[in-house]
Structures are given as structure tokens and as C-alpha cells.
């Protein structure tokens, strides 16, 4: 059987099983690169010809590659491809070949003995209250897009939600004291929101949100009134970083997720409730304890432990207005 044909069947099965478009695209890019590499370098085109040696050579090839060298829309970087990214390729290969065995396309799994490259252990720097204030002040709250960005940052800080969850947030998912999100595996959960954030979110929805269509369901919209995408959120953070000039910390949505987790625990929140709010229902060690908590129970104490309690929103509002006057 042609390897590329089998890959197409695997992706089709992922679609049938309800995998998200982002997940399917993730598999398509990684497995497609593998098929391309062993075809060009090893002349292997049949599924049955794939051996563990081919897989190991592919991983070595990735470890020697430059970052973004295989990205269709980005130029190659000077630094090497991240080991964490390479580990993602290994996961994709293992999932694919397990599927091949389950589907009786292979009698043995060539990826069984494929090992993950060792990942470096490092701390992820999080935002300080000063960092957060600087980012909030950089949002021009007198404009629809500036106010949208202001609320977007606060919601990321207050909930620790993932960017795809933020972009997928619908009007029907927003409630006075919590929001519903669809996380990985299309699992729904509830996340509490601080009253201050709830009030600002209400203001954005009723004053600044201007949809291109009256039946637009998404909460956060782009400049033309359509749904804000992940790439759009990344662009917002790129612009904010240029305005703030923050150093020593990665200015990204995921940094807000780490910051939320750290501040929640510092405020005295329970790690089990935190795990539920963040959608980490499969964490080893805590899994048996997490079963005792439902997301509805976890969000009840959200306001007490929210990072918003440590941010002076009045100060950021005053500073934002002052910046507007200076312009």
C-alpha cells in the first residue's frame, strides 16, 4: 500500500472521529513531511517498507533542521528546531502507526522502539503585575479594537484558557459568572470569571462588538466583523510587544496561561480545582483526585483566587485615557 494513500485514510478517519481541524492539520503537516523525506532520501513509498531505522533517521534529520525550515508560510530561522517540536513529530508517528496496526494494515508497529529525544527542563517566565499593567495600558480603550484587546487580555489572565478556546468562544457560552469553552478533544468545561471582567466583557459585547452579520455567534471579532482567528490573536500580541518593549518574558497568550496558573496558586487556590478550570483532566498523579471535582464546583471559588484581584484596573483605565490625550 502506498504510504501517502494510507496517510490520507488516517486523516479521513481523524475527521470521522471528530478530531478538530487544527489537530488534523497538525497530523497532516508532520506525517506529510515524514512521507516526503523517506521518499526522497530512502526511496521508500510503501507502508510495509517502513522500518525503525527510517523513523530514527527522520528524527535525526529534524534535530539538525532550522526552526521554521518546514513551515509553508515562514522563513527559516537561525536557531535549531526545538526539541519539543521534534517530540511532537514522534508523537504523531506513534499515533499513526498504532492506527495502522489497529486497522490491520500492518502486523507489527515499526514505531514501538522509537524513543523521544530528551527535552530540556526549564522554567517558563510568567508576567509580573507590572508586565500586565504595561500590556493593558498599551490598549487604547477608546477605540473598538483597543477595548476588544483590553478585554481579551483580561479574559486570558482571568481564565487561563487556550487561544483556540478563546477564538471559539460563542455568545451563548458567556454567562454572568462563568464561560463555557470547548477544549482539547472537544470536551466542554466551565471556567469562572471575575465580576470586573464580566462587567467589561458585557460592555464590549454591547458597545464595541460590531459583527458583519447579525447571526455571527463568536464573541471576539476581527477588523471586518468576522471571527477572530488564532493568527489574529498572535498578531495582537506582536503589536503589544512592540508598544511595550517588554524584555525577559515571552509576550504570548500562552504566557498568560502560565501566569494564571501561578497566580491562582499563590492566591491560595487548590491545585485540583485549578486543573479542572484549565482543562488538565489527564494530569498524572492528580488524576484520581480530579475525578472528585466537576468544573461547576471548581469555578465557585474562582473570584477569590483570580489574578484580576491583584491588578488595579482603575489605574490602567486612567493611564489608557492619559495616553489618548497625549496623542
pLDDT tens column, 274-321 = 777 777 654 442 333 333 344 555 666 677 778 888 888 887 776 666
Kindly state the helix (H) or strand (E) to which residue 232 belongs, with its residue range: helix 230-244
pLDDT confidence of residue 283: 46
Confidence of residue 173 (pLDDT cuts 50, 70, 90): very high
DSSP string, 57-105: HHHHHHHTSBTTTT-TTSPPPSSBPPHHHHHHHHHHHHHHHHHHHHTTS
The tens digit of pLDDT for each residue in 221-254 reads 999 999 999 999 999 999 999 898 887 788 888 8
Grid cell at residue 209: 462588538
2-19 per-position pLDDT tens digit = 999 999 999 999 999 888
Structure confidence at residue 105 (pLDDT): 95
Q: Tell which wins on pLDDT, 261 or 265.
A: 261
In the chain, DSSP assigns E strands to 178-182, 188-192
Q: Give me Rg for the CA atoms of the chain.
A: 22
What is the Cα–Cα distance from 16 to 247, expressed in whole angstroms? 44
- CATH superfamily of domain region 129-326: Intergrase catalytic core (1.10.443.10)
Q: What is the pTM of this model?
A: 0.62
End-to-end CA distance of the chain: 65
Residue with cell 466542554: 188
Confidence of residue 261 (pLDDT cuts 50, 70, 90): confident
pLDDT at residue 282 in the model: 45
Which has the closest alpha carbon to 268: 232, 235, 309?
309
Return phi, psi of residue 209, to 5°. Answer: -75, 120
Work out the percent of the chain whose per-residue pLDDT is above 70: 83
Backbone angles phi, psi at 170, to 5 degrees: -110, 160
Map out the domains of the chain as residue ranges.
3-102, 129-326
More confident residue, 91 or 297: 91
Name residue, grid cell 489574578.
Answer: 307
Amino acid at each position: 500500500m502506498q504510504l501517502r494513500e494510507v496517510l490520507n485514510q488516517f486523516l479521513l478517519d481523524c475527521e470521522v472521529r471528530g478530531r478538530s481541524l487544527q489537530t488534523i492539520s497538525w497530523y497532516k503537516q508532520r506525517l506529510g513531511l515524514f512521507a516526503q523525506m523517506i521518499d526522497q532520501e530512502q526511496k521508500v513509498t510503501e507502508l510495509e517498507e517502513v522500518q525503525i531505522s527510517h523513523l530514527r533517521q527522520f528524527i535525526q534529520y529534524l534535530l539538525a533542521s532550522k526552526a521554521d525550515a518546514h513551515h509553508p508560510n515562514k522563513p527559516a530561522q537561525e536557531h535549531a528546531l526545538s526539541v519539543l517540536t521534534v517530540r511532537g513529530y514522534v508523537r504523531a508517528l506513534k499515533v499513526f502507526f498504532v492506527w495502522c496496526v489497529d486497522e490491520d494494515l500492518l502486523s507489527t508497529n515499526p514505531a514501538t522502539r522509537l524513543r523521544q529525544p530528551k527535552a530540556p527542563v526549564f522554567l517558563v517566565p510568567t508576567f509580573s503585575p507590572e508586565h500586565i499593567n504595561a500590556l493593558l495600558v498599551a490598549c487604547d480603550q477608546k477605540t473598538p479594537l483597543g477595548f476588544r484587546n483590553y478585554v481579551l487580555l483580561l479574559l486570558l489572565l482571568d481564565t487561563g484558557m487556550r487561544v483556540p478556546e478563546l477564538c471559539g468562544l460563542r455568545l451563548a457560552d458567556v454567562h454572568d459568572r462563568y464561560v463555557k469553552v470547548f477544549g482539547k478533544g472537544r470536551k466542554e468545561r466551565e471556567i469562572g470569571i471575575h465580576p470586573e471582567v464580566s462587567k467589561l466583557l458585557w460592555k464590549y459585547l454591547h458597545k464595541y462588538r460590531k459583527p458583519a452579520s447579525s447571526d455571527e455567534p463568536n464573541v471576539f471579532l476581527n477588523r471586518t466583523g468576522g471571527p477572530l482567528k488564532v493568527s489574529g490573536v498572535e498578531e495582537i500580541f506582536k503589536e503589544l510587544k512592540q508598544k511595550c518593549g517588554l524584555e525577559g518574558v515571552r509576550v504570548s497568550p500562552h504566557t498568560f496561561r502560565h501566569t494564571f496558573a501561578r497566580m491562582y496558586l499563590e492566591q491560595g487556590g487548590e491545585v485540583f480545582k485549578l486543573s479542572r478550570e484549565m482543562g488538565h483532566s489527564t494530569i498524572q498523579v492528580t488524576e484520581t483526585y480530579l475525578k472528585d471535582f466537576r468544573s461547576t464546583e471548581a469555578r465557585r471559588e474562582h473570584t477569590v483566587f483570580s489574578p484580576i484581584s491583584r491588578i488595579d484596573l482603575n489605574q490602567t483605565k486612567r493611564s489608557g485615557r492619559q495616553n489618548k490625550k497625549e496623542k
